[in-house]
Amino acid sequence: MQMDPYKLTIPREIDRWDEGIPLGNGEMGALVFGSAKKLTVSLDRGDIWDKSGSPENTPGFCYANLVKWAKSGNRKAIYKTFDLPYQRPTPTKLPCGRLELFVQGDRVPQDCCFSLDLKTAVCTFTNGDFRLAAFVHAAQGVGMLKTEGAPVKIHLVRPKFGKRTKYSAFFERFSRRAAVSNKLKNVKYPAPVLKQQLVRDVRVQFFVQPLNDGSAFGVAVGERQTAYGQEFAFYAYSGRGEALENILTEKVTDALRKGYDALFPSHRAWWRAYNARSEICVPDDYIQSRYNMGNYLLGSASRKGNFPMPLQGLWTACDDQYLPPWKGDYHHDLNTELTYLSFLKANRLEQGECFLDYLASLTERGRDFARDFYDADGICLPAVMDIDGYALGGWPMYSLSPTNQLWLCQSFERCYAYTGDVEFLRKTAYPFIEQSARCILSLLQEDAEGFYVLPVSSSPEIHDNTQKSFLTPNSNYDQALLLYTFSCLARLADVLGKADDRRLWEATLQKLRPLAVNAAHVLRLSRDEDLRESHRHQSHAMAIYPLRLLDYAKPKDAEIIDATLQYTASLGSKAYTGYSFAWLAALYAAAKNGEKALEYLEIFWRYFCSVNTFHLNGDYTKQGYSDLTYRPFTLEGNFCALDALQEMLLYAENGVLELFPAVPSAWRDVSFRTLRAWGGVLVSAERRGGKLLRAAFTAENDVSFLLRGVSQTLHFVGGKSEPTENGMLITLKKGETLSVQTENDA
């Protein structure tokens, strides 16, 4: 049976939450799973956090001590001060609660089927004559369910936190001397308010869970009978000092008075507009479906005006026993950056602006942390942090590495590069990058040869949490980010007419060594160490992707890229997690190797993702691709894979565009529509029989770019096109479109 690439179908019962059908609207998420007799709708909100017990209050928690103890090898002090706090239950993101729907009557599971329509974001479950349909409204926040074919009883279940008593604070003081597990019962709160009430013909159940900092969150579900069965509305909310009970009950009763069918058209219209922003078409239904599902997850979990996706997006682990993996926090040594890689080329700006707005809103927090922790100017956020930007601790060579701030800066630079929005550059992007660079400048020191180095250096997550993890400054990871940031700043300062700034950034670049490459042309970990074993984080290759400091069109760069990829592959994948394969796919796309890029994408999606496409990190089906066979869910691999596939279809860097640069030979017919490229250019192109058939470039700004790799006789219509030695130089005015056609299609 042919696969529908715009529908996720699971033709069986789903007994695990991490295989459930995901729904979301950027604020509230839901997972639908279960059996013929009992269905579960697990809920989540991005802003439900316990922020108590910040490690920043730990005595000695400062960069000077980290540097001192790293250089002296005082592992005990490092562990106690920086690492141990992360092993305590809080701060952490919290689960929200769930709905349990009990289907009445005798139900047999033989014909159970869950499905998700990616075009309308509606989940359905069928079993014989019973049917459930559900969506989380794209714009109005509330979730809707309707059932028919059998009556349903619904229960509202709160998370089973520990019970807070008058003795809790006493015992917690002692428990903080040692690590405690991440069990849900280890976070203790006052008992929640649980209520039921009847509002006209709507029966409402809700609870309000107080937290220890004076805030609270709650969940409500309302139900009413209809001519065909039952309808339900559900809502989760988080706040402080507000009448949560009224907010919850009014939201669900208002939704039910309107009804499922009345609310659905506006929900469907939002998703129709979202899906219209761009598309790709590849001749492989499996790959196509994974790409479509990834963009669905992006639209479900990230919306401007809300908090950005943490590790699990809006689908925090919902079982009764444990807090979310890795606290459901914000990791900036890979996770957030990979999560927000794909939105620009996919032309889904609103989803990425959510992340940029959030980071910009934390500028003062970053200024405080730069001053208090690093004793530095400018701004710097902790590389592992809670929702308010406070440090969580963890392996400090990574969780408190200042250069991770520079990887965050790339998101701002890329947004400007792909939109050409000078006002965004002036007001938001440049100030954030410039202030981040000021912090790094405060930390850099001259070595014996007069080059700038950091006091300590590392490469995530090389050598794990050992003394060996402190590499000889600077690691290639740190050096690539330094070179990238200061070269970008020099270019951006020129755009804004900041001559003094440009001179400073160019002078800084002169004091930075080039990347460390060994005699075999392989990128090293640092100046005196090569990567010697399989490792999950491709941090030594940052300069290839995503920083793009090396250009495969340049022979010397191509030599380094090829040698690095060949050597990295020779070390094997036994220590890889899922995102490692997605990242490798992007690296091979940069090397124009479509066969290898597709191979690694296939491995990622088939063997490291759940049936619902959630990235489960480990080789959980034990296919032999990795020694890690666990299944903790995080999202960064999903979006890195999306960007890798987009990179195979469109190269767009520093004023150079190339169509279908890394398409595998089997993909004779492939196309894309309105992918976003450098300079704010929207690009559509079609390839038939292995050759370019047509393309179109629409400019959102006055722009010039080089179209590289054009080898056929083509007709250029509109704009201005001029042949050069390296390709076709194209100049467009704002709003202008240039079309490219073959002779046969002209």
3-state class (DSSP) for residue 704: strand
* Residue 606, SS3 per DSSP: helix
Taking the C-alpha atoms of residue 441 and residue 450, their distance in angstroms, rounded to an integer, is 15
CA-CA distance, 564 to 575, in Å (whole number)? 18
Residues 545 and 676 reside in one and the same domain: no
At a CB cut-off of 8 Å and minimum separation 6, what does 628 contact? 536, 575, 576, 577, 617, 618, 619
One domain, residues 634 and 712: no
**Which range is least confidently modeled, 86-90, 432-436, 543-547, 621-625?**
86-90
> Quick one: pLDDT at residue 513?
98
- Percent of the chain clearing pLDDT 70 (strictly above): 96
Kindly report the CATH number assigned to the domain that includes residue 266: 2.70.98.50
Q: Residue 746 gets which letter from DSSP? A: -
* Cα Dmax for the chain: 82
Q: Looking at residue 731, what is its pLDDT?
A: 97
Q: Are residues 285 and 184 in the same domain?
A: no
Secondary structure E strands in 654-719? 656-659, 670-677, 681-688, 691-699, 703-708, 714-717
pLDDT one-digit tens code per residue, 191-203: 887 888 887 788 9
Q: Per the domain annotation, does 80 fall within a domain? A: no
Residue labelled with tokens 């590499």:
471
Answer yes or no: do 141 and 162 share one domain: yes
Q: What is the pLDDT of residues 238-249, one digit of tens each?
A: 998 778 999 999
Residue 609, pLDDT > 70, answer yes
- The verdict on residue 651 lying in a domain is no
Taking only the tens place, the pLDDT of each residue in 223-272 is 999 988 999 999 999 998 778 999 999 999 999 999 999 999 999 999 99
pLDDT tens by residue, 349-398: 999 999 999 999 999 999 999 999 999 999 999 999 999 999 999 999 99
Give the pLDDT of residue 177: 42
- The per-residue pLDDT for range 643-694, each reduced to its tens digit, is 999 999 999 999 999 999 999 999 999 999 999 999 999 999 999 999 999 9
**Does the residue 658 lie in any domain?**
no
**Nearest CA-CA partner of 618 in 606, 602, 629:** 629
Structural domain count of the chain: 3
Q: Assess whether 578 and 722 both reside in one domain.
A: no
Q: What are phi and psi of 745, to 5 degrees?
A: -100, -10
Place of tokens 């969580």: 392
Q: Which two tokens stand for residue 392?
A: 């969580």
Other CB atoms within 10 Å distance of the CB of residue 623? 12
Would you say 515 and 523 are in contact if contact means Cβ atoms under 8 Å apart? Answer: yes
561 falls in which pLDDT band (50, 70, 90)? very high
Q: What is the pLDDT of residue 270?
A: 98
Cα(632)–Cα(616) distance, integer angstroms: 5
Question: Is 218 part of any domain?
Answer: yes
Same domain flag for 218 and 254: yes
3-state SS, one letter per residue, for 181-234: CCEHHHCEECCCEEEEEEECCEEEEEEEEECCCCEEEEEEEEEEECCCEEEEEE
In a domain, 720, yes or no: yes
| Final residue belonging to a domain, choices 645, 660, 694 | 645
Q: What is the spatial distance between Cα 465 and Cα 467, in angstroms, rounded to a whole number?
A: 7
Q: How far is CA 400 from the centre of its chain?
A: 20
The CB density around residue 568, as the number of other CB atoms within 10 Å, is 21
- The answer, yes or no, to whether residue 705 has pLDDT greater than 70, is yes
In this structure, what DSSP letter does residue 448 have?
A: T
In a domain, 67, yes or no: no
Provide the strand spans (E) within 368-511. Answer: 384-385, 445-446, 452-453
Residues 6+ apart with CB under 8 A from 608: 577, 578, 581, 615, 616, 617, 618, 619, 620, 625, 626, 637
Instruction: Take residue 343 and report the two structure tokens written for it.
Output: 């939105």
Q: What pLDDT score does 197 carry?
A: 86
The domain that holds 735 is classified in CATH as: 2.60.40.1180
Lookup result for tokens 């066979």: 629
Give the closest residue to 111 by CA, choosing from 125, 128, 124, 88: 128
Phi then psi for 180, rounded to 5 degrees? -125, 160
Q: How far apart are CA 261 and CA 258, in angstroms?
A: 8
Assess whether 364 and 503 both reside in one domain.
yes
Q: Does residue 170 have a pLDDT over 60?
A: no
pLDDT of residue 168: 54
Average pLDDT over the chain reads 94
Dist CA 114 CA 33 (whole Å): 8
Asked whether the CA dihedral 286, 292, 294, 300 is positive or negative, the reply is negative
Whether residues 125 and 240 share a domain: the answer is yes
pLDDT for 180 beyond 90: no
Helix (H, G, I), strand (E, B) or coil at 337: helix
> pLDDT digit string (tens) for 62-108?
999 999 999 999 999 999 999 999 999 999 999 999 999 999 988 77
Residue 663 within any structural domain of the chain: no
What pLDDT is attached to residue 179?
Answer: 43
Q: How far apart are CA 698 and CA 189, in angstroms?
A: 55
pTM here is 0.96
Element (H, E) at 30: strand 28-34
Closest CA to 183 of 78, 323, 22, 349: 323
- Residues 419, 344 share a domain: yes
Distance CA 32, CA 19 (A): 9
pLDDT tens digit sequence for 277-287: 999 999 999 99
pLDDT of residue 208 exceeding 90, the answer is yes
At residue 347 the predicted structure's pLDDT band, cuts being 50, 70 and 90, is: very high
Distance CA 549, CA 628 (A): 31
Query: Are 439 and 577 contained in the same domain?
Result: yes
pLDDT at residue 178, as a whole number: 37
Examine the domain organization and report whether 266 and 287 are in the same domain.
no
**Quick one: which H or E segment has residue 652?**
strand 650-653
- Least confident segment among 8-22, 229-243, 300-314, 485-499: 229-243
Same domain, 146 and 23: yes
Q: How many CA atoms lie within 13 A of 531 on its CB side?
A: 35
For residues 355 and 340, the answer to whether their CB atoms sit within 8 Å is: yes
Q: For residue 309, what is the domain's CATH number?
A: 1.50.10.10
pLDDT: is 744 or 485 the higher one?
A: 485
pLDDT at 371: 98
pLDDT of 526 > 80? The answer is yes
| More reliable by pLDDT, 407 or 741 | 407
What average pLDDT does this structure show over 310-337?
Answer: 91
Owning domain of residue 459: 280-314+326-645
What pLDDT shows up at residue 171?
46
User: Two tokens at 318?
Assistant: 């919902």
CA distances from 270 to 137, 274, 315, 442, 639 (A): 9, 6, 21, 46, 21
Residue 653 covered by a domain? no
Measured CA to CA, the distance from residue 534 to residue 531 in angstroms comes to: 8
